[in-house]
Amino acid sequence: MKLIFNKEENNDISVKIQQGTVAVNFTYPEMIKQLLQNNTITDTDFGNLTEDETLSLNEMLNKISSIFDKDELDAEETE
């Protein structure tokens, strides 16, 4: 899954998610669908975000990805 971040003039951060070769507006259902199919967040484009914003978003993405880690899901099901 590829995410594309961009900071707008009013400092809001917009996010797009790549579906095939097309970038579409981000939705949580699409993100979850893609993570369930392939739990990989690759080639994230942080556009014009600061280094601190990029680090923070990377941490968040790693945490989200870990939720969909198959081994962790299997462990939770057996508890």
- Domain spans of the chain? 3-78
pTM: 0.78
Distance CA 79, CA 70 (A): 15
Q: What is the pLDDT of residue 47?
A: 93
* Token code pair at residue 22: 């097309």
Banded pLDDT at 74 (limits 50, 70, 90): low
Banded pLDDT at 5 (limits 50, 70, 90): very high
- Give the tens place of pLDDT for each residue, 12-71: 999 999 988 899 999 999 999 888 888 888 889 999 999 999 999 999 999 998 888 865
